[in-house]
Structure 1
Amino acid sequence: MSAFGSLVRRLGHQRWFAATGRFLVPVDRLVGRLTRGRVVGLGLVPSLIITTTGRKSGQPRSNPLVCVRDGDGFAVVGSNWGQRHQPAWVLNLMADPAATVTLKGRDIPVRAHLATGAERDRLWQLLITRWPAYQTYVERADGRQIRVFRLAPVTDTSSTEDDGRR
């Protein structure tokens, strides 16, 4: 990690940084869209773009998120910078777990799974290693559960199904 990336990780614990970060999300979203997911997290931390279906609008909603690889999938956190309310993308995934991840120019269909118990603990450790400020966000959230999701790639099985012709 670069010296600048290390500095950003340390600053991530500061309230002013979280407030600034919330305003930078639209910029990050635009950069991610323009680079087809090649630059996300403003290039400072490993990140992806998740596209969910809006639970009320039915429209695609894209958000940049810090991520950690977990086998063939990804782990992400719905921290909302430690605010007391859930981020909209979390509520969207709770309503419809089908999503798309854009990473390094590739769109990957995924299915979200809310991690609980030992799985959540394991993923949480991976995530706070990547972005230690998540621990600070827990304190700021005043007891609100910060949700952890595992995003598993969806494989297309339609081409392997037997259509009855031989």
Structure 2
Amino acid sequence: MGDGTLARSDRTAWSERQRQVIDEFRANAGTVGGHFAGMPLLLLTTTGARTGRPRTTALRYLPDGARYVVVAANAGAHRHPDWFHNLTAHPAVTVEVGAETFAATAVLTTGEQRDALIERIVADSPNFVAYQAATAREIPVVLLDRRP
């Protein structure tokens, strides 16, 4: 659809693909094949902004010391992905990287911190430039900070 939303059948197919990637990730200690083979992936579990239910999404990430960086690009759609709306309502999240699972707090980056991370993101994933060009919204960059 032209407004950046997916038709119901596309959303169902996307949800099924996400479920397959999540299952493969968990069965293989964070390793997946196919389109995502060799990509650094993590699983982010947020609390649904409206439902309060846990929602898990597979996301590409960049390491940043002990933190992880994720980008709410939504492939350049005109709206933020659902997981981003969830973590803005409930910033306490769960992260799975490899075989490790830990609690984290999601922190939205701004200013110079965001700019520096964008440079790293573009160097790691040049398609980010096309995603940003496809939308008028500023694509959020989020840090996932481990909680003690």
Higher deviation after alignment, 143-152 or 32-41:
32-41
Is 1:69 aligned to 2:73, yes or no? no
What SS does the corresponding residue of 1:58 show, helix, strand or coil? coil
Moved segments of 4+, more than 6 Å: none
Partner of residue 138, structure 2: 145
Is 1:39 aligned to 2:32, yes or no? yes
**Could you list the runs of 5+ residues in structure 1 that have no partner in the other structure?**
1-18, 156-166
Partner of residue 107, structure 1: 101
1:77 shift after superposition: 0.1
CA distance in 2 between counterparts of 1:139 and 1:123 reads 17
Residues 62, 36 of structure 1: alpha-carbon distance in 2 compared, 3 angstrom cutoff = farther
The alignment's C-alpha RMSD in Å is 1.9
CA distance in 1 between counterparts of 2:31 and 2:127 reads 24
Partner of residue 3, structure 2: none
CA distance in 2 between counterparts of 1:109 and 1:43 reads 25
Task: Name the count of aligned residue pairs.
Answer: 134
CA distance in 1 between counterparts of 2:40 and 2:30 reads 11
CA distance in 2 between counterparts of 1:128 and 1:44 reads 18
Is 1:86 aligned to 2:91, yes or no? no
Which structure has the bigger radius of gyration?
A: 1
Alignment deviations for residues 4-29 of structure 1 (CA, whole Å, 9 cap, x no partner): xxxxxxxxxxxxxxx9xx84434322
**Could you list the runs of 5+ residues in structure 2 that have no partner in the other structure?**
1-9
The amino acid of 1:68's aligned partner reads L
8 Å Cα contact 1:48/1:67 also seen in 2: yes
Alignment deviations for residues 11-63 of structure 1 (CA, whole Å, 9 cap, x no partner): xxxxxxxx9xx844343223223334343873331111111111111111111
CA distance in 2 between counterparts of 1:29 and 1:86 reads 21
Is 1:51 aligned to 2:71, yes or no? no
TM-score, normalization: structure 2? 0.82
